[in-house]
Amino acid sequence: MSPSPSPILQALRLATRPAHDQLEQNTFNQQLTAGTITAAATTHFLAKMHGLLVPYEARLRAQNLGPEWEPATRQRAHLILQDLRQPAAALAICPDMPPLATWPQLLGAMYVVEGSTLGGQVIARQLAKANIPLRAYFSGYGERTGPLWKSFCQLLAQEATPENEAELVESARLTFQKLDAWLNQPPA
């Protein structure tokens, strides 16, 4: 029997479930679910993810995380550039980011972004079946995806306190909401 999730993970899952479910209603996820995914929808989704990841990853680098966080590994926007074969300057940056000024806010956003690597593995397999080669970003950390998620969850549990839990949880919820709004903006 596996150990039960930490209290912070339980709180995050419960509080973010509605926003997470809403996020999964975007065109890209609907096409994946229906088995009608297109390269155009995948390209749009990746371009939008890049627009969120660039400012998020800049803030992550500014945090000066210790080596236990493997901060260089957690930088993944460059994988989208590999997929799209476009310069970063050609892609829009999300104009309405969730607040990332405090450590709890960054942890909440990390919960969303790091958690997306798990779903990315499933998406990569679905894209392979559809013969869509845009899979570098979705492949996450490859074989290390599960272990890196587990490591993140352990570190998150160590950093969460009764004093910062509400801010951390609200940041994760807001990150899902801001990402959903950004993904649903039509291409420019």
Record the pTM.
0.95
Residues contacting 47, CB < 8 A, separation 6+: 80, 84, 86, 91, 92, 187
Question: How long, in residues, is the chain?
Answer: 188
Structure-block tokens of residue 178: 């801001």
The Cα–Cα gap between 113 and 73 comes to: 13
Q: Cα–Cα distances in Å, from 4 out to 10, 112, 131, 187?
A: 9, 20, 38, 42
> For the segment 125-149, what is each residue's pLDDT rounded down to a tens digit?
999 999 999 999 999 899 999 999 9
Residue ranges of the chain whose pLDDT lies below 70: 1-3, 187-188
**Alpha helix locations (H) across the chain?**
7-23, 27-34, 39-62, 77-84, 103-129, 145-159, 165-183
Q: Does residue 36 sit in helix, strand or coil?
A: coil
> For the segment 33-43, what is each residue's pLDDT rounded down to a tens digit?
999 999 999 99
* Top-level class of domain 24-183: mainly alpha
Q: What is the reported pLDDT for 19?
A: 96
Q: What is the reported pLDDT for 3?
A: 64
For the chain, which residues make up each domain, given as ranges? Answer: 24-183
Q: What is the reported pLDDT for 2?
A: 57
